[in-house]
Amino acid sequence: MSGPYEGTILSAITLDADDYLFDVAHAVSVENVDEWLWFLTVLRECLSGMQPVIMSDRNQRLLSVVPRVFGIDYHSYCLQHVRENFLTYAGKVRIRRQGSKDLLKEVFNRIVYAPTGVEYRVAVEELRKYKP
């Protein structure tokens, strides 16, 4: 949020029986470790023992809090954010041409969607040959 009401909206959503998004919880926060810890602890209590899958954008505060509340087995990363971070990093190592970024995006997609270990290793090796 911006303007006079700065902060972050923390939210938890799930899919309902018809596969529509259903809001479970919201909180307005300054987004620090203590507030994430509070939010996730209250969420865990509300879930009465059900184990959620936490999907995040690899926010450093969340990375430190999720294992404390839910463990690491059910924490995943949003692929869109990981891809954006990957392409941002590519720019930092001087890969800036759009054609090169498109190629990296295609190789990245082959890595993350590889149906077999062999296809995964082939795509990773192709990426390493492009830019070690």
pTM of the model: 0.68
Confidence of residue 67 (pLDDT cuts 50, 70, 90): very high
Confidence of residue 115 (pLDDT cuts 50, 70, 90): very high
Instruction: Report CA-CA distances (Å) from 73 to 34, 40, 54.
Output: 22, 15, 10
Q: Which carries the bigger pLDDT value, residue 3 or residue 88? A: 88
Residues 6+ apart with CB under 8 A from 39: 10, 25, 27, 29
Q: How far is C-alpha 123 from the chain's CA centre?
A: 22
Each residue of 76-104: pLDDT tens digit? 888 998 888 888 888 888 888 888 888 88
Query: Cβ distance 123 to 106 under 8 Å?
Result: no
